[in-house]
Amino acid sequence: MGQRFSRALWARKGTVSMDNMRVLIVDDSSVMRKIVERSLRQAGINIAQVLEAGNGAEALSVLNQEKVHLILCDINMPVMDGLEFVKQLSSVENAKAVPVVMITTESSEGHVVQALTAGARGYIRKPFTADQVKEHILPLLA
């Protein structure tokens, strides 16, 4: 993973540039998936392709076929929630090293601990700003 991200660099306008960066956004709300994508772009993160999934099970299915560099995931979702998804991600050879950042309304200390223990690398609370996205995502791409 480190090698893949080593090509990330700051451009003059503060934009992270990375060839073929692919992001998976997992949220049962299609509106929220679009907002998360827009926030990434507003944060100055260049994305070559955004993949979407409506729940954890769909996300695992996507990851069995596609490689991504970053996963942003809600917690409260039908079928398979975000915590279960993160736990099961370790069994997906393609994706077990990919950083996962939770973006959720569930922001109590207990939820944060559960998510980080399960393997998430970051936690963003809804409602969120593009600056907060930048603050949490950029260290993972450095």
Partner 1 sequence: MKPLSAMTANLDKGDCESWGPVLTLAAREVFETMLGSVLEPGPTSFAGEELDITSMVGLAGQIRGVVTLRCATNSATLIAAKMLGVETAAAGPQMCDAVGEVCNMIAGNFKNKINGMGDGCMLSVPTIITGADYLLRALTESSRIDVNLMFEGFPLIVSLEIHF
Chain residues in the site for partner 1 (CB under 8 A): 28-32, 34-35, 38, 76-78, 104-111, 125-129
Q: Which is nearer to partner 1, 79 or 142 (CB)?
A: 79
Smallest distance from partner 1 to CB 60, Å: 19
Q: Which is nearer to partner 1, 66 or 131 (CB)?
A: 131
Q: Give the residue among 110, 31, 12, 123 at the shortest CA–CA distance from 73.
A: 123
Smallest distance from partner 1 to CB 132, Å: 9
45 secondary structure, DSSP code:
B
Smallest distance from partner 1 to CB 137, Å: 17
Strands 70-73 and 22-26: parallel
